[in-house]
Amino acid sequence: MNPETSMETATPYAPVALEFWYEFGSNYSYLSVMRVKELAEQYGVPIVWKPFLLGPIFKSFGWESSPFVLQKEKGAYVWQDMARECVKYNLPWKCPTSFPRSALLPMRVALLGADKPWIVDYNKRMMQVNFVEDLDIDNEEIVSKVLTELGLPASQLIAEAQSEDNKRRLRAQTETARQRGIFGAPTFFVDGTLFWGNDRLQDALIFAAGLKILPLD
């Protein structure tokens, strides 16, 4: 077999869902959130939205912040890379003046909406607020404004998001992410197989769409 497996050497199987694990404070999640719906539709793959918190994941590694902050050289590279990637994908971009931003409230709201029709538009707007408008997203006024723009009952949803039950659910979802080996965002699961990073989004969708790549000889 050719050492680089091609689409011609793939084995067809039934399409499955793409689990999309993301965080509003994650810059590379921004790139995927803004593109995944249209790409998934092209491949006929349903999306299962999995909001979680990166902070507890990083703390489990002994990190107090993002590795892009802890390692100066990596951080400098990332902002150059983000500018290039946004040009490639034709996405607006403004380097955040604060990073990583806390996203606790908007992620709690995302958990409420994970299986609702408004989740895609909500996710995109929250990412734009962070990485295009450069505003504090862990802010009740901002979250309320976004929900109102989408024609949603902002006060009701924020109250539900701040309930003890929903807080527990987000903690539990984040712990599930840790137990499943998630170490960053975005992360995608397809039938139990992990793909990490925005640059693996299309690979994950191809896999989910019915082209399971054969192992190398």
Active site residues: 26
The two three-digit tokens of residue 184, written as one number: 């960053």
SS3 76: helix
Residue 208: enclosing H or E segment and its boundaries? helix 201-209
Task: Annotate 35-55 with b (16+ C-beta within 10 A) or e (fewer).
Answer: bbbebbeebebebebbbbbbb
DSSP state of 32: H
Residue 42: enclosing H or E segment and its boundaries? helix 36-43
Sorted by sequence, the CB contacts under 8 Å of residue 45 that are 6+ apart come out as 15, 16, 17, 18, 205, 208, 209
